[in-house]
Structure 1
Amino acid sequence: MRTTVRLTASATSALPRWLLFAICIVYAVSGLFGRDPWKNEDAAAFGVMWTMANGGWHDWLLPNLVGKVITATGPLPFWLGAIFIRALGPYLAPNDAAHALTGFMFSGTCAFVWYGTYLLGRRPEVQPFKYAFGGEPSPRDYGRTLADGALLILLASFGLAERGHESTPQIAQLACAAMFIYGLVRALDKPWQGACWTGAALGFFVLCANPPLLLALFIALIAVTLVVRQIDSRKLLLVAIPLGLVIGASWPLAAYLSYPADAASFLHDWVANNFANFRGSPKGALFYAAKNLPLFTWPAWPLAIWTWVSWPDLRRAPHIAIPLSVVMTVLLLILLQQRETNLLFLLLLPALAIMASFGLPTLKREAINAFDWFAVLSFTIVGGFVWVVWIASQTGQPAPIARNLSRLVPGFRPEFNVVSLILALVVTACWIALVRWRLTRHPKVLWRSVVLSSAGTTLMWVLLMTLWLPLVNFSRTYRDVATQIATHLPSDYVCISPVRLGDAQLASFAYFGNMHFAFDDSDCDVLLRQDTQDYNPPASLSSYTWKLVWEGRRAADRDERFRLYVRVERPKRPTPAIKRNPPR
């Protein structure tokens, strides 16, 4: 096989550990605490965790949102979130405790990506050209530099910023996908250990995802065993599949033994509803993916394509075949799905980051400069815009921006926080210093082409979660609406019947307003509706009528309107007296 990489040892100088850890920690922690659950998926997932934390075994085995069955994913992310809520209850608010789990999962994803790339970078087939008199990097230094690059590429991905800080099942699926890749890589040199990691990842994926996603990972596993000759397929399949089945079957079996009838219905919907999302015409989802996927996975996808181009003789080697197998199967699901959503996009990032890191050694100087200037210009402009809008919200100047802000987010009252301001100033100063260092020193290390992109994404996210956090929180929370509805509820109401309420609204209203909903056609005496336009009032029956007691919406949302009705019993007509003829 032909080696395509020519490097000297100086090109693999390690990224300072303090800088790498600082970027990871600051990026992971920013935006997790001090905010409400946001619409849509963040609040909905938190609602299931909160229901479990305050519920019984039925809620734990059959996930539900204040009584509404949730079958889109498995229960593992909700179990962990409920455990965090209970364990950290004395110290953190429930929503902050759930977000602490997000930080934990994010850190695990980073660790699996780093170590998986490190192991691949030490393999003999990817080592740089050996010079006659030495001077090439050692396998350990080369692998460590590539691992640093993969982690920086992961952090630089645009789509990770918001999705990576929400308490959704997707963050657990992201960690499982990274664990799955690490297990396959580990199986190259330690077959039994790697098979255990792979099997555990498959089993956990059953517990935190759904059958179509599990099928995609299983196809990726089979593809790796067929394509990668260096892997012991017999040992891998002999351990991984049974272990995955044992872990994955533990939840359905426990649920069925505890609640046979409810579990049978739940598991049927869990399988049927999720496969139904991939039937029919995917035209809308295809257009959505074509429009949003390139930005979501930037800059990982162009670097991953460059890896494929620059290693023509090693495309069946593990460093390309393993991550590419995951990318292709997940991408197939994205192209077949019916919903226009970016939830599956997140699962591409670990594999793309690992594959993209192997394009760094062969990247041309012109491409490196293009990445650098794009990062400098785009993130400096975005950062400056965040600062200008914050100044306008605090001072009213520039006046046009202040007027537009009040028009876009009516009712928002700016808040001044000294700590947030200091953090924003510090991260801005660090960005300026990093840009100055990168543009004046011209370092030759491999990670130079992505350090500005990852630092720029961190800058953007930290500024948004410090200067703009009150604004973003105001525009994406249902706290105020829930409080208003709760004040108009009768003190002795039995239950609320929801009409057209989404999962995020149900979770927020139950959490912030302590409302009790019913979904089994109960005879509720309160009705709460969401309307996007004026609808006729609910039909009254002969014995009662519905009285509108409150109508409103979130100040930052013009499309949603909520109406609260209370049932009023109609007075019964007096029974007319029957005249009787006196006896003769």
Structure 2
Amino acid sequence: MLTYQSSQDISITPTKGQDKPWLLLLLCCFWLIPGLVGHDPWKPDENVSMAIISYFMRHSDWTVASIAGVPQFSQAPLYFWVATLFVNALSWFGVAAHDAARLSTGFWMAVGLWGVGLAGRELFGRRNGRLSVVILLGCLGLPLWGHHISPAVVLLAGFAWYVYALALALKQPLRAGVLLACVFIVLLTGASWADALFAVLFAIFLFVFPQWRKFSYLITLITAILIAIPIAALWGYSLKANSSELFQTWWRYYAWGPFGGARSFAVGTSVGFLPTLLIWFAWPALPLAAWSVYLFRKELWQPHWQLLISALFFKSLFIMLATQQSEALVLPLLVPLVLLASGGVDELRRGAAAALNWFSLVTLGLAALVIWLIWIGLVTGMPLTLVDYFARFSPADVHWKGWGFVFALLVTLVWGRVLFRKQPLGRRALTNWTSGLTLVIGLLVGLFQTWIDVGKSYRPVAESLSAFMDGKHAQCIDVSTIAKDPTAALVYFTDLALDARPDNECLFVIRQTASKESATPEVLWSGHRLGDQKEIFSLYRR
């Protein structure tokens, strides 16, 4: 059995009338929905993702996308395929392409939360699945990526279902085999070969433990691999059939994801990146996971602890050895941390639970109050020093009218109601933390999303350049010297002929500087994002 039954199960399990799973669904909706719609693509990755999606929207061949003539191999295309399907479907209802793509992120997040919930229930028993979801939603590193147009969320969802499939393997090998096959397909077509190989090798590693050394588990793995590899290989075959040169580029430099490719394969040595990031990125799961391991240190030989601790160790090693360090790479690590944390919450000492509860109320409640006070100050125009300070970041006005204000008021009232729910102290502390974090997210989105959007969007730059080039759209513009993000934004927001290849022969060229240049006859056009004077784009004729 992989299911652990807490010694407090009898005292904490509610009666059927008290069991309200819809409250968890409501929390998930309040966490997921804000920020998915209503604003342009933002830095750092959303513009690049939208440029790739817009390429798929305009072309019938979905094998590989390009941005301004440069093929994109940094991530396998599954996320972009699904996002494009969302864009095409929701365009019938007038939903903007970037909003529809962001809704596909919400879809992957929902799939990931579902997988974590199932894994928590399978590993630690009834209602621990809900607790696992609450802890995951409360992790500080998740909100940005859970509302971002980025393929990183595919890796999180895939790893959540991967852990669930392994947890299920000893009891239902056939069902687990099908789930593992789906996970391998997702990783091969939505992440990288390195992620997929890690999943296969770790599943094989579990044979080290006697409890996993079963013939049924072997059949599960073989079945999953045999199903997944032929299906996932279709994309590689399509790429090779499309262009042998592009296939060789992908294989040599990108196939192994954060480790490079077959020719450029390299192992990193930055061991300090992960511990430094996890201190805040995985809060509060990290300290709770450490408590669970300490509390059940005499039971770590059981299969569910073997699975989670081994997954945590080897995934951490995988991240530290990668040459391309990023927050997105750390997202899957939240899954074993959250599941480990859920195992010890009901055994949390009363003093520690009370401290966490008090910290949640004070910290996030105070943050919400500050957000409300800043918003009131910007709406009323008082004090002037506050208005002048925030005007440096965005020239947009802040209004009290609109659905954003209504949503901010609603989420504040719901948060106040949640504080009075009766739960065991440990669960109440985590619920209050996640609800408070959801409140802060909801207030920032409801009250300040438009204000933030004006300062972060490249739309004014793209529209200004497009207006200047009116009548000259067929003329090629060299964008090889500017950063990838603004290049992608120009691709998405305009239909100009842009070329990012270094050997192009375009008549015009855009250069990026940190300060505005003096007006000269050579500068045909100049633009920048509103509220940003440190990223200036200038157009020249060669």
TM-score (structure 2 length as normaliser):
0.91
Q: Which residue of 1 aligns with 2:143?
A: 161
Q: 1:222 aligns with which of 173, 189, 204?
A: 204
1:8 deviation in Å? Answer: 5.0
8 Å contact from structure 2 (residues 50, 492) kept in 1: no
Deviates more, 1:454-463 or 1:514-523: 514-523
* Aligned-partner Cα distance in 2 for 1:379–1:445: 18
1:53 deviation in Å? Answer: 1.3
* Aligned-partner Cα distance in 1 for 2:158–2:187: 6
* Aligned-partner Cα distance in 2 for 1:186–1:446: 27
1:288 deviation in Å? Answer: 4.3
Deviates more, 1:34-43 or 1:211-220: 211-220
8 Å contact from structure 2 (residues 120, 132) kept in 1: yes
1:39 deviation in Å? Answer: 0.8
Q: Which residue of 1 aligns with 2:314?
A: 329
Q: Which residue of 1 aligns with 2:538?
A: 563
Q: Which residue of 1 aligns with 2:466?
A: 486
Q: 1:265 aligns with which of 249, 262, 271?
A: 249
Residues 1:69 and 1:156: Cα distance change in structure 2 (over 3 Å): same
8 Å contact from structure 1 (residues 113, 147) kept in 2: yes
* Aligned-partner Cα distance in 1 for 2:120–2:455: 39
| 1:31 and 2:35 correspond | yes
The aligned runs of 1:407-486 (5 Å cut-off) are: 407=392, 409-435=393-419, 437=420, 443-444=423-424, 447-486=427-466
- Give CA-to-partner distance per residue, 1:240-273, whole Å, 9 cap, x none: 2222322321210122123333323333332267
1:465 deviation in Å? Answer: 0.9
Q: Which residue of 2 aligns with 1:6?
A: 7
Residues 1:532 and 1:458: Cα distance change in structure 2 (over 3 Å): same
* Aligned-partner Cα distance in 2 for 1:419–1:512: 26
Q: RMSD of aligned C-alpha atoms?
A: 2.6
Q: 1:506 aligns with which of 481, 487, 491?
A: 487
Q: Which residue of 1 aligns with 2:305?
A: 320
* Aligned-partner Cα distance in 1 for 2:387–2:518: 38
8 Å contact from structure 1 (residues 550, 565) kept in 2: yes
* Aligned-partner Cα distance in 2 for 1:177–1:185: 12
| 1:405 and 2:409 correspond | no
Q: Which residue of 2 aligns with 1:527?
A: 509
* Aligned-partner Cα distance in 2 for 1:256–1:145: 48
Q: 1:196 aligns with which of 154, 164, 178?
A: 178
Q: Which residue of 2 aligns with 1:70?
A: 72
Residues 1:417 and 1:293: Cα distance change in structure 2 (over 3 Å): farther
- Give CA-to-partner distance per residue, 1:552-573, whole Å, 9 cap, x none: 3223334322111134xxxxxx
* Aligned-partner Cα distance in 2 for 1:274–1:63: 19
SS at match of 1:186: helix
Q: Which residue of 1 aligns with 2:225?
A: 241
Q: Report the AA paired with residue 227 of structure 1.
A: F
| 1:20 and 2:24 correspond | yes
8 Å contact from structure 1 (residues 217, 326) kept in 2: no
1:338 deviation in Å? Answer: 3.9
Q: 1:179 aligns with which of 161, 168, 186?
A: 161
Q: Which residue of 2 aligns with 1:373?
A: 358
Residues 1:268 and 1:193: Cα distance change in structure 2 (over 3 Å): same
1:503 deviation in Å? Answer: 2.8
Q: Which residue of 1 aligns with 2:375?
A: 390
Residues 1:35 and 1:18: Cα distance change in structure 2 (over 3 Å): same
Residues 1:188 and 1:475: Cα distance change in structure 2 (over 3 Å): farther
- Give CA-to-partner distance per residue, 1:170-206, whole Å, 9 cap, x none: 0111111111111111212101210221122022101
8 Å contact from structure 1 (residues 51, 66) kept in 2: no
Residues 1:503 and 1:417: Cα distance change in structure 2 (over 3 Å): farther
- Higher-Rg structure is 1
1:227 deviation in Å? Answer: 2.9
| 1:298 and 2:301 correspond | no
Q: Report the AA paired with residue 536 of structure 2.
A: R
Q: Which residue of 2 aligns with 1:516?
A: 497
Q: Report the AA paired with residue 162 of structure 1.
A: L
* Aligned-partner Cα distance in 2 for 1:444–1:22: 20
* Aligned-partner Cα distance in 2 for 1:415–1:536: 36
- Give CA-to-partner distance per residue, 1:489-521, whole Å, 9 cap, x none: 252242111133333212211222322212343
- Give CA-to-partner distance per residue, 1:22-73, whole Å, 9 cap, x none: 001121111101111111112211221111111131xx11232243211111
8 Å contact from structure 2 (residues 31, 441) kept in 1: yes
Q: Which residue of 1 aligns with 2:235?
A: 251
Q: Which residue of 1 aligns with 2:347?
A: 362
8 Å contact from structure 1 (residues 203, 246) kept in 2: no
Residues 1:85 and 1:410: Cα distance change in structure 2 (over 3 Å): closer
8 Å contact from structure 1 (residues 4, 310) kept in 2: no
1:339 deviation in Å? Answer: 4.3
* Aligned-partner Cα distance in 1 for 2:5–2:196: 36
Q: Report the AA paired with residue 371 of structure 1.
A: L
8 Å contact from structure 1 (residues 211, 275) kept in 2: no
Residues 1:194 and 1:410: Cα distance change in structure 2 (over 3 Å): closer
The aligned runs of 1:89-128 (5 Å cut-off) are: 89-91=91-93, 92-121=95-124
* Aligned-partner Cα distance in 2 for 1:225–1:516: 55
Q: Would you say how many aligned residue pairs link Structure 1 and Structure 2?
A: 529
Q: Report the AA paired with residue 53 of structure 1.
A: M
Q: 1:86 aligns with which of 88, 103, 113?
A: 88
SS at match of 1:500: coil
Q: Report the AA paired with residue 458 of structure 1.
A: T
Deviates more, 1:260-269 or 1:194-203: 260-269
Q: Report the AA paired with residue 241 of structure 1.
A: I
8 Å contact from structure 2 (residues 37, 99) kept in 1: yes
Residues 1:288 and 1:390: Cα distance change in structure 2 (over 3 Å): farther
Q: Which residue of 2 aligns with 1:551?
A: 526
* Aligned-partner Cα distance in 1 for 2:277–2:531: 24
SS at match of 1:109: helix
Residues 1:228 and 1:105: Cα distance change in structure 2 (over 3 Å): farther
8 Å contact from structure 1 (residues 495, 518) kept in 2: yes
Q: Which residue of 2 aligns with 1:540?
A: none
| 1:353 and 2:342 correspond | no
8 Å contact from structure 1 (residues 40, 503) kept in 2: no
Give the unaligned 5+ runs of structure 2. Answer: none
Residues 1:491 and 1:422: Cα distance change in structure 2 (over 3 Å): same
SS at match of 2:506: coil
Residues 1:171 and 1:4: Cα distance change in structure 2 (over 3 Å): closer
- Give CA-to-partner distance per residue, 1:451-477, whole Å, 9 cap, x none: 111111111111111111012212221
8 Å contact from structure 1 (residues 420, 466) kept in 2: yes
Residues 1:399 and 1:536: Cα distance change in structure 2 (over 3 Å): closer
Q: Report the AA paired with residue 505 of structure 1.
A: P
